[in-house]
Structure 1
């Protein structure tokens, strides 16, 4: 090798320390710009999965209706199974349903029934501290009462969590019979001998239109943590609006234990009494500090299932009056879908 070629080889250019630092800084900036987009894409995928869960639940309810000609009950009786247990065979969970005895209380069911996780009942956007609900003796993390003290769990029997609840009523003010008090799609049934039940509603009774009436919605972190989705002793269904307090308390297990009734008339049942109706509107459980019945971990929206089996996102800032129009099954009002 000649001296000239050796000199050229030794004289090759290389990155300086400053250049390396600049490149690293540029890469860091690009990553920082990309992360929000990645997170947004992941949340969009989780929200889509949650919507799909709502759709699958809607299909399961319709299959149950096709079999029985009635909608499932919100709960069979105080302490019995809820709508979620009734539709298990239609969510490809017949093996769990076969282990259950619907003539017995949820607390008396085998552990395999109470503790078998059902992915369709869980929203992927919500982080769960435990796979099961909190017992009454336990404290729900991140949930405090209005005075700032820790909030104990509301359930009495350990069971799987569920992030969806049937929408049973608005409890609007006024007088009326049972159908006025429970004006939603999935409500309490008529009890018969031998712990059998007969549903009070069917798709034919959704005279406001199945595409204009809510059936299932995302419940709050508080509601999910405090009660198993199967436990009819603490999971009576989601309620919107505030009417006759005595009627509400009489309709709920244990006279509405764990539900805050101190807010003004017109507010949302279970909402924070320190907030106005305008502040909480849809009972959005964004801070996990209040016992809301509805709530979602998606930014700006919660997902719902309509009575026609479809699913859609609902704006968390929707006016409560408009929201109640979509809860009632036979009130004669039909509000445009774009209001949601």
Structure 2
């Protein structure tokens, strides 16, 4: 039988040049697709952040339905034990917990002692701030709804030495990226520094705009005693909050809550932002801020001579601005280039000024 001969077929391999071309094409495709993937992920994170703010809005209004005012912020210094006229220090976020599906956590908090107290001990200035009591482990609990998923900074802070002493020993606390609005505070309130000359608005409105009536541009609110600071013009106050009826400009024209990263861990800030009290969701020190400084201006407070962190700027990891909850429960994006006057009008609940388009 005759053998059939079949010609050999040699498989041709890639040349080096062809291989490099294929690799280059793949690299180009990855380079084109990666930004799209990152943008899609950021869009999802931004949507989650928006949902977090909406949930806070629902909680605020449900609280208002029950108590006839928005959840109170309680921040009062004490010298020694709490007196009959003093209220323990807790944030409005802590008081909102039952309306955020966090009733079990709320029920564990001992509201008879300060958020950072529990031992009766004192630190510098005889201020009760030792966080080794019953509330200490609770303040370490991370609540995802209080954190923007775009913010990749450290969520639990251990106190660092600042000003020669350490607040609350070495206690840890979980942070918040959402703060209640104190309004638009000018110099003279706490330690917020002088009003920038390019941001003066010479309207003689008592308690607002940095005027004292006849002298535009000078502070109206002054003094260190918090019970004297009655003219804070936002939805929240240093101590307390407001009602819907007090939102004279309309709930759809007034910012209630906005993003603030607190620059946890420093993040290049000139300020020491690393106190756990200044970042913790349970602490009234961290739960309120104001809209006086330009958005995403990370060193705003320091540049204006401030030494109080409630004066820092609204901030986020979102490109171009921050998200804000209005008092009507809607969430909007505040562009970091928003006009200063518009930002002021949105911050203040009772200036009787038209906001216009923004």
**TM-score higher than 0.5:** yes
Residue in 2 that maps onto 1:220: 261
Alpha-carbon distance in 2 for matches of 1:120, 1:132: 15
Q: How far has the Cα of 1:180 moved from its partner? A: 6.3
Residue in 2 that maps onto 1:44: 43
Residue in 2 that maps onto 1:6: 7
Contact 2:233 2:349 in 1 (8 A): yes
**What TM-score comes out, normalization by structure 2 length?**
0.69
- The within-5 A match list for 1:307-318 is 307-318=327-338
Alpha-carbon distance in 2 for matches of 1:308, 1:204: 12
More helix by share: 1
4+ long deviations beyond 6 Å: 152-156, 177-180
| Residue segments in structure 1 that go unaligned for 5+ positions in a row | 140-151, 190-198, 243-267, 277-290
Deviations 1:47-103 (A, max 9, x none): 111111111111111111111111112335346101110101111111110001223
Contact 1:133 1:153 in 2 (8 A): no
Measured on the aligned residues, the alpha-carbon RMSD in Å equals: 3.0
Residue in 1 that maps onto 2:65: 66
Q: How far has the Cα of 1:270 moved from its partner? A: 7.1
Tell me, yes or no, if structure 1 residue 126 matches structure 2 residue 138. no
- The within-5 A match list for 1:282-293 is 292-293=312-313
From the superposition, tell whether residues 85 and 321 of structure 1 become closer, same or farther in structure 2 (CA, over 3 Å): same
Contact 1:134 1:153 in 2 (8 A): no
From the superposition, tell whether residues 220 and 210 of structure 1 become closer, same or farther in structure 2 (CA, over 3 Å): same
SS in structure 2 of the partner of residue 29 of structure 1: helix
Residue in 2 that maps onto 1:300: 320
Structure 2 residue corresponding to 1:159, chosen from 173, 196, 202 = 173
Residue in 2 that maps onto 1:322: 342
From the superposition, tell whether residues 94 and 37 of structure 1 become closer, same or farther in structure 2 (CA, over 3 Å): same
Alpha-carbon distance in 2 for matches of 1:2, 1:275: 94
- The within-5 A match list for 1:148-297 is 157-171=171-185, 172-175=209-212, 181-189=231-239, 199=240, 201-222=242-263, 225-226=274-275, 227=278, 228-232=280-284, 234-235=285-286, 237-241=288-292, 271-272=300-301, 274=303, 292-297=312-317
SS in structure 1 of the partner of residue 152 of structure 2: coil
Alpha-carbon distance in 2 for matches of 1:236, 1:44: 26
From the superposition, tell whether residues 28 and 236 of structure 1 become closer, same or farther in structure 2 (CA, over 3 Å): closer
Residue in 1 that maps onto 2:190: none
Alpha-carbon distance in 1 for matches of 2:337, 2:101: 35
Residue in 2 that maps onto 1:113: 138
Tell me, yes or no, if structure 1 residue 81 matches structure 2 residue 90. yes
Alpha-carbon distance in 2 for matches of 1:328, 1:73: 18
Contact 1:56 1:91 in 2 (8 A): yes
Alpha-carbon distance in 1 for matches of 2:245, 2:15: 77
Deviations 1:13-70 (A, max 9, x none): 4433322221111101111111111111111111111111111111111111111111
| Residue segments in structure 2 that go unaligned for 5+ positions in a row | 78-87, 119-133, 186-208, 213-219, 222-227, 265-272, 306-310
Q: Count residues in correspondence.
A: 274
Larger relative contact order (C-alpha < 8 A, sep ≥ 6)? 1
Residue in 2 that maps onto 1:247: none
Q: How far has the Cα of 1:272 moved from its partner? A: 4.8
Alpha-carbon distance in 1 for matches of 2:318, 2:329: 21
Alpha-carbon distance in 2 for matches of 1:271, 1:17: 56
